[in-house]
């Protein structure tokens, strides 16, 4: 099992590898930007089209969810949460189109969670003040200090690893299934054709669980956890 393929090197700092991950991220970004351009084109106040109803309903749902989970005073997070969800969802779903999902690379998930971590620290200090923030580490008892510090870092690390692990294991399992089906095909039809007959329809059915379900689920979960932990850090 290989990591992301290196496409070319940027000749600075001794050659920065540009990988499949980056290319697929750019594809996802392009899709999302074009999609939002298309979705928001021709928006009107009255006599709205079906497209606009859908996109408005989606945005309303997003704001409602942020309000329910984080509270009314943190509604300004909604665009970030929405971006996170859309980016992770589309990145996860890239795996269905025979491209390596950007989230199957630890760099992507770590980058996402790094943003979350910085936001978390910034708003925690902004809401509680530096002194209150430091005091929070020795609560409820000072003995908890090491645990609290570990907990502060383990939450984002586990979030990054969870997303990466789920998507990467999906890739591993899909490739294992392909290998197994190719092996069975060769066993059964080995004398007739080298084409892996069984590998045509069956993976699609399995990918409904391993790709679609897990992908949507993980996008939802990473968004949800980001909201919950941000709200917890601020309250």
Partner 1 sequence: MEKAIVLGCSALGAGIAMIAGLGPGIGQGYAAGKAAEAVGRQPEAAGTVTRTLLTGCAVAESTGIYSLLIALTLIFVNPLVGML
Partner 2 sequence: MDNLFLSLGYMPFISIDWTIIAQLLNTLILFLVLKKLLFGRVKQIIDARQAEVDKMYSDADAAMTEADRLKNLYADSVAGARDEAQRIVADARKTAEDQSEAILDEARTAASNMLAKAESEIASEKKKAVNEIKDEISDIAIMIAEKVVEKEITPADHEKLIADFIDRVGE
From partner 2, partner 1, none, interface partner of 6 (C-beta below 5 to 8 A by class): partner 2
123 lies in the binding site for partner 2 (CB under 8 A) = no
Report the alpha-carbon distance of residue 181 to residue 28 in Å, rounded. Answer: 30
Q: Which helix (H) or strand (E) segment is 164 a member of?
A: helix 145-189
Q: How far apart are CA 166 and CA 184, in angstroms?
A: 27
Phi, psi of 17 (to 5 degrees): -75, 130
Which tokens in the block code for residue 10? 């940027």
Site for partner 1 in 190-219 (CB under 8 A): 217
Q: What CA–CA distance (Å, rounded) separates 211 from 204? A: 9
CB of 121 closer than 8 Å to CB of 104: no
Residue 108 in the binding site for partner 1 (CB under 8 A): no
If one counts every other C-beta atom within 10 angstroms of the C-beta of residue 59, the result is: 15
Residue 73 touches partner 2, criterion: CB under 8 A: no
Q: Is 235 in the site for partner 2 (CB under 8 A)?
A: no
- Say which residues have a Cβ less than 8 Å from residue 102's Cβ, sequence separation at least 6: 21, 22, 24, 25, 28, 91, 94, 108
HSE at residue 44, side-chain half, CA atoms within 13 A, is 7
x/- contact string, 21-60, with partner 2 (CB under 8 A)? xx--xx--x--xx--xx-xx--x-x------x--xx--xx
> Considering the rule CB under 8 A, would residue 166 count as an interface residue with partner 1?
yes
87 interacts with partner 2 by CB under 8 A: yes
CB of 111 to partner 1, least distance (A): 17
Q: Residues binding partner 2: what is the number (CB under 8 A)?
A: 49
Q: Which of 13, 146, 187, 201 binds partner 2 (CB under 8 A)?
A: 13
Measuring CA to CA, which residue among 213, 225, 221 is closest to residue 170? 213
**Host H or E run for residue 16:** strand 16-19
Of positions 26, 228, 232, 235, contacts partner 1 by CB under 8 A: 228
Is the CB of 123 or the CB of 189 nearer to partner 2?
Answer: 123
Interface with partner 2 (CB under 8 A): 1-6, 13, 16-17, 19, 21-22, 25-26, 29, 32-33, 36-37, 39-40, 43, 45, 52, 55-56, 59-60, 62-63, 78-80, 82-84, 86-87, 102, 105-108, 110-112, 114-115, 168
Interface with partner 1 (CB under 8 A): 1-3, 158, 161-162, 164-166, 168-169, 172, 217, 220-221, 224-225, 228
């Amino acid at each position: 099992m290989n990591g992301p393929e290196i496409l070319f090197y940027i000749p600075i700092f001794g050659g920065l590898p540009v990988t499949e991950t980056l290319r697929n991220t750019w594809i996802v970004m392009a899709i999302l930007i074009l999609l939002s351009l298309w979705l928001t084109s021709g928006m009107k106040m009255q006599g709205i089209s079906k497209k606009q109803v859908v996109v408005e309903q989606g945005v309303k749902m997003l704001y409602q969810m942020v309000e329910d989970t984080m509270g009314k005073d943190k509604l300004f997070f909604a665009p970030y949460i929405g971006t996170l969800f859309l980016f992770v969802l589309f990145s996860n779903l890239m795996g269905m189109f025979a491209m390596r999902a950007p989230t199957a690379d630890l760099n992507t998930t770590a980058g996402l969670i790094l943003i979350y971590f910085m936001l978390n620290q910034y708003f925690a200090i902004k809401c509680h003040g530096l002194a209150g923030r430091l005091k929070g580490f020795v609560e409820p008892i000072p003995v908890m200090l090491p645990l609290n510090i570990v907990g502060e870092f383990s939450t984002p690390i586990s979030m990054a690893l969870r997303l990466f692990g789920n998507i990467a294991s999906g890739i591993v399992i899909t490739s294992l299934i392909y290998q197994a089906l190719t092996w069975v095909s060769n066993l059964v039809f080995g004398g007739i054709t080298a084409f892996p007959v069984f590998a045509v329809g069956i993976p699609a059915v399995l990918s409904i669980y391993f790709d679609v379900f897990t992908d949507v689920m993980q996008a939802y979960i990473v968004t949800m956890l980001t909201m919950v932990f941000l709200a917890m850090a601020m309250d």
